[in-house]
Amino acid sequence: MRSNWWKILCVVLLAYAIIGGLLLPVPARHILNETIRNLYFHVPMWFGMMLLFGISFYHSLMYLRKQDMNYDIKAVAFLKIGVLFSCLGMITGMEWAKYTWGEPWSNDPKQLATAICMLSYFAYLILRGGIKDEEKRAKISAVYNVFAFALMIPLLFILPRMVDSLHPGNGGNPGFNSYDLDSRMRLVFYPAVIGWFLLGYWISTLHIRINQINYKRDNTF
């Protein structure tokens, strides 16, 4: 029970984020209107995705140092849930963009960056699928994960220079910075970010436990 406090916290925060996010008052903004509530669902997906990919990167690095299969199992689990979050973030974002920007896809640098991230992590999953030997699969995919993650970071600096952004807060659009983000919205937004991330972490730990049991079962005679 004592080690599970964060799971209870996750449920409480998410319940608050969903109920409060849909019912509590939000500032009325031109064009955004009520779609501003998407902030509680769409933006936490990105924070969750970045954190999960970061944790996965850390575990891949540790695998390369220690050559312990547990690190490989963890790296894959966090990466898969990160991919899930990126898909959800993409869907919620495109749905929102249809009503505010007029079309689901409009070459926004953040959309492009996410699309590129998604493509390269899908490629990671394909790469893993193609290798039979467990140790070799762990090593090669860890190398690719580190390589891809390290190349993603400069990408975040390059893309915004290449194409203009439509996102709130960029290019003169009203955003969620200190002026625009209402203090009432913060009260829901920060708990929502923590809640969604904890949910992602929770799903990952379940995935890790299943895979650790499978690994043990396959490697005992």
Residues engaged in binding other proteins (CB under 8 A): 64, 112, 116-117, 119-120, 123, 126-127, 130-131, 136, 139-140, 142-144, 146-148, 150-151, 154-155, 158-159, 161-162
Q: Closest CB to other proteins among 8 and 119?
A: 119
Name the residue nearer to other proteins (CB basis): 27 or 54: 54
**DSSP string of 118-177?**
HHHHHHHHHHHHT--SHHHHHHHHHHHHHHHHHHHHHHHHHHHHHS---STTSTT---SS
Shortest distance, position 137 Cβ to other proteins, whole Å: 8
Residue/partner pairs of 209-213 with CB below 8 Å, 24 or more apart: 211/73, 211/76, 211/77, 212/70, 212/73
The one-character DSSP state at 29 is: -
Q: Which is nearer to other proteins, 120 or 170 (CB)?
A: 120
Round to whole Å and give the CA distance between 67 and 60.
10
Minimum CB separation of residue 62 from other proteins in Å reads: 13
Q: From the CB of 89, what's the least distance to other proteins, in Å? A: 17
Cβ-based nearer residue to other proteins, 21 or 109? 109
